[in-house]
Amino acid sequence: MNRFRPVCLLLALLTGCVATKTKPSEEPNPFALPAGSPRNVRIGFVQGYPVTSLSVPVLLLPGTLVQDKMIVVSRDPRLNPTAILEITSVRGRIAVARIVRGQPQPRDEVVLPSADLSERSQELPP
């Protein structure tokens, strides 16, 4: 056992002296909690629709309650807003939403807007 002590000491010294590179921190996303989980309540996802359409179908998550005239926001996987939507009708788990601003893409997440998200989504083109 005595002959392993110098080897272990040498390994401990070598590994303790290695400097680790830290990744440059990414700009924090204002629409996510520090742990990376979204802070807006998810209600569903945009489904496929004709690009020329002025309304989009939204597949609601189970247990989600929405009503006519409710304003929601769609956002991409990076949590950036893509459109402001107004719910016009609900049929089971499908809500039909009128596009107020922006252009949602199929599979965009649809959430209830926070103050920050509402403000940022106002920058979208009409």
Mean pLDDT by 10 residues, the chain (126 residues): 65 58 56 61 94 93 94 94 96 96 95 88 88
Q: Does residue 22 sit within a domain?
A: no
Model pLDDT, residue 114: 87
Task: Please check whether residue 10 lies inside any domain of the structure.
Answer: no
Residue ranges making up the domain that contains 40? 31-121
As for how many domains the chain has, the answer is: 1
* Structural contact between residues 52 and 103, judged by C-beta atoms closer than 8 angstroms: no
Asked if the structure places residue 105 within a domain, the reply is yes
Burial profile 23-49: b = 16 or more Cβ within 10 angstroms, e = fewer: eeeeeeeebeeeeeebebeebbbbeeb
**pLDDT on residue 103:** 94
Global model pTM greater than 0.75: no
- Position 69 scores a pLDDT of 95
In-domain check, residue 93: yes
pLDDT recorded at residue 35: 59
pLDDT confidence of residue 107? 94
The domain that contains 69 carries what CATH number? 2.40.10.170
Q: How far apart are CA 70 and CA 61, in angstroms?
A: 16
CB 99 within 8 A of CB 81: no
19 lies in some domain: no
